[in-house]
């Protein structure tokens, strides 16, 4: 029996691109108006705005923290607004907070927007932000860490444990990009899907990690409107109900994050979220997995029981998670396919979850999409939040 | 476009309770925080024991031997301040005292590094105040 009482009733999104001429407020206007219109509500029905914290954009973070968005959009019924920050897990926490607002009677309808414009952040600030975010400034940063290196270490360990070959790992990029090329909102929309060989022939950044396995920083934004499950049920339109959730905290400092504990955490949270939703893995129509880096997808596939232990990477190599495969997986291509928009990739994943359940995913539409499993994680992977969403309660 | 990168080598941002660790590395000693009450070896150093919240803390000297748990060798795309070091290998190493720390593996060909490789500590000077604990392969 679900402990949640929430549904996504409206979504809005702009394509992720590198477009410095498109300002942050430009995007916020577009995604918020689209989400509210899609919800079928009037703008003045929005009673709260919970913003996904914009990373590396301090001016915008301050503007949103201090209440600018409802005023800009003329949300006359808005009673309160705030910013919620847990890195890539921010959106999950915005949704939780929205549930609390709704349950306590503060608001009936809550708007959850996100925007990131990387292209106008000076390059040195971008590099510095991503070098320091999620790592310890005493015990890690002075050694020369980067996100790429942290993920490379984990991938090396996974390959050691399972015997996965570099071509298997490279095939994850091929799978993710096969979805992205079909997604008008993805950075790689209509772009050639690289073969595993092309991935491996791109420059080696750090072992075993090639340039094509890294993320492109993009500009983008998305938004959703959420209400109680009861209110959603009365709207006579397709909506996405939140059915189950579970979370585990691992560590804030990557060196304290044990490989096995993380894999077990992926598994436990999935089991608990599905149990709360009253479904099993065989019921899941789409595994909408957010890992930010391709290398962690095989680990998640095994933890979920979607692939046997040790064979996650091979499943990707066989094309089973690619567009047209038998295991629909990360249908916007995760960050490697969508383009990295900071904390916004997870917002985009929730929007995609809702889009698939609402039956509005176009060419990428998963047939008979009834239940979607979706995860998020924050920072360099300090936690894992597993959720299950469905077409009906 | 003229981009000005901060090339300052980052120093560890210490806390009062971690200063003995860095005093130790300056003297060629790898110190591990130890809880006198619950006997836990602790890394990284904390204000109180993370196991039992005791303030009854001490330091023990590590033997300096470890095994590589995971690693990655960087060839590109690091911060400009670290570019001159390329290629370099970052690793998590498991010490015999039961703790895991981040380090660099040095004094070897990066392609020879492997998981479970036996390594020993060596101290790398950043400035007069800070020496980072790096590790190198144990000579057989």
A126's CB contacts (< 8 A; 6+ apart) are A56, A118, A217
At a CB cut-off of 8 Å and minimum separation 6, what does A294 contact? A169, A172, A173, A176, A213, A334, A336
- Provide the token pair at A324: 């047209």
**Interatomic CA distance for residues A272 and A291, integer angstroms:** 19
For position A134, what pLDDT does the model report?
A: 84
Tens digits of residue pLDDT in B60-94? 999 999 999 999 999 999 999 999 999 999 999 99
Alpha carbons A8 and A190: distance in angstroms, whole number: 28
**Rounded mean pLDDT of chain A?**
96
CATH of domain A7-122+219-233: 3.40.47.10
> Where exactly are the structural domains of chain A?
7-122+219-233
**The token pair that represents A273 in the structure block:** 């979220």
**Which two tokens mark B13?**
């941002």
Chain B hits for A380, Cβ within 8 Å:
none
Cβ separation B75–A205 shorter than 8 A = yes
Rg (Cα) of chain A, in Å, rounded?
A: 20
CA–CA gap between residue A236 and residue A102 (Å, rounded) = 20
Neighbouring C-beta atoms of residue B43, cutoff 10 Å: 19
pLDDT for residue B1:
57
| Interface with chain B: mutation pick from A126, A131, A149, A205, highest number of B CBs within 10 Å | A149
> What is this model's ipTM?
0.97
Contact assignment for B74 to A146 by CB distance below 8 Å: yes
**pLDDT band at A98; cut points 50, 70, 90:** very high
Q: What is the pLDDT of residues A44-77, one digit of tens each?
A: 999 999 999 999 999 999 999 999 999 999 999 9
| Chain B environment of A214 (Cβ under 8 Å) | 77
**Beta-carbon count within 10 A of B3 CB:** 9
Closest CA to A133 of A5, A253, A218, A234: A253
Mean pLDDT value across residues B108-130: 98
pLDDT one-digit tens code per residue, A29-39: 999 999 999 99
Which residues from A are below 8 Å from B71, CB to CB?
A: 153, 156, 207
Q: Residue B102 and residue A157: Cβ atoms within 8 Å? A: no
Interface probe with B: pick from A130, A131, A134, A138, most Cβ of B within 10 Å: A138
Contact A145 B102 (CB under 8 A): yes
pLDDT for B45: 98
The pLDDT score that the predictor gives to residue B71 is 98
Per the CB < 8 A criterion, the answer to whether A42 and A277 are in contact is no
pLDDT at A377 > cutoff 70: yes
- Closest residue in B to A125 (Cα–Cα): B5
The two three-digit tokens of residue B90, written as one number: 């970052």
Q: Where do the domains of chain B lie, and which CATH numbers do they carry?
A: 17-137 (2.40.50.840)
Mean pLDDT along residues A364-375:
98
Q: What pLDDT sits at residue A385?
A: 98
Q: Which residues are registered as beta bridge partners of A221?
A: A14, A115
Residue with tokens 């590590």, as numbered in its chain: B62
pLDDT band for position A1 (cuts 50, 70, 90): low
């Amino acid at each position: 029996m679900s402990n949640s009482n929430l549904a996504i009733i409206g979504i809005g999104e702009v394509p992720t691109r590198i477009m410095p001429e498109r300002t942050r407020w430009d995007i916020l206007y577009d995604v918020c108006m689209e989400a509210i219109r899609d919800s079928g509500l009037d703008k003045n029905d929005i009673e709260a705005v919970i913003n996904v914290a914009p990373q590396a954009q301090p001016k915008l973070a301050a503007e949103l923290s201090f209440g600018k968005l409802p005023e800009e959009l003329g949300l006359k019924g808005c009673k309160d607004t705030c910013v919620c920050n847990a890195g890539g897990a921010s959106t999950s926490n915005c949704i939780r907070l929205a549930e609390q607002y709704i349950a306590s009677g503060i608001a009936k309808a809550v708007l959850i927007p996100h925007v990131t414009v990387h292209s106008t952040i000076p390059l040195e600030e971008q590099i510095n932000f991503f070098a320091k975010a999620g790592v310890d400034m005493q015990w890690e940063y002075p050694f020369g860490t980067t996100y790429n290196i942290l993920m490379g270490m984990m991938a090396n360990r996974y390959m050691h444990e399972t015997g996965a070959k570099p071509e298997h790992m490279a095939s994850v990029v091929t799978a993710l990009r096969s979805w992205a090329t079909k997604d008008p909102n993805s950075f790689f929309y209509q772009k050639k899907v690289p073969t595993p060989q092309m991935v491996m022939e791109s420059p080696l950044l750090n072992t075993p990690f090639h340039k094509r396995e890294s993320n492109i920083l993009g500009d983008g934004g998305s938004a959703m409107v959420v209400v109680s499950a009861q209110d959603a049920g009365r709207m006579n339109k397709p909506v996405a109900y939140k059915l189950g959730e579970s979370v585990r905290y691992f560590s804030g400092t990557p060196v304290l994050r044990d490989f096995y504990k993380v894999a077990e955490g992926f598994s436990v949270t999935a089991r608990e979220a599905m149990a709360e939703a009253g479904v099993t893995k065989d019921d899941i129509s789409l595994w909408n997995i957010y890992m930010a880096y391709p290398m962690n997808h095989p680990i998640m596939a095994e933890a979920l029981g979607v692939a046997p232990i040790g064979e996650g990477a091979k499943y990707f190599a066989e094309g089973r998670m690619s567009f047209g495969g038998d295991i629909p997986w990360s249908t916007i291509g995760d960050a490697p396919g969508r383009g990295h928009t900071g904390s916004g990739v997870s917002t985009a994943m929730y929007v995609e979850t809702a889009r698939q359940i609402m039956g509005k995913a176009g060419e990428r539409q998963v047939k008979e999409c009834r239940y979607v499993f979706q995860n998020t994680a924050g920072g360099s992977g300090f936690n894992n939040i597993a959720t299950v969403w469905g077409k009906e309660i | 476009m003229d981009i000005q990168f901060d090339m300052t080598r980052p120093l560890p941002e210490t806390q009062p309770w971690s200063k003995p660790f860095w005093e130790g590395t300056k003297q060629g000693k790898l110190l591990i925080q130890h809880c006198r009450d619950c006997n836990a070896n602790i890394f990284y150093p904390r204000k109180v024991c993370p196991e039992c919240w005791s303030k009854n803390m001490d330091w023990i000297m590590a033997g300096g031997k470890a095994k590589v748990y995971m690693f990655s060798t960087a060839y590109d795309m690091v911060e400009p301040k670290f570019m001159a070091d390329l290629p370099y290998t970052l690793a998590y190493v498991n010490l015999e005292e039961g703790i895991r720390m981040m380090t660099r593996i040095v004094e070897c060909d990066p392609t020879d590094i492997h998981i479970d490789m036996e390594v020993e500590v060596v101290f790398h000077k950043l400035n007069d105040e800070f020496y980072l604990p790096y590790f190198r392969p144990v000579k057989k």
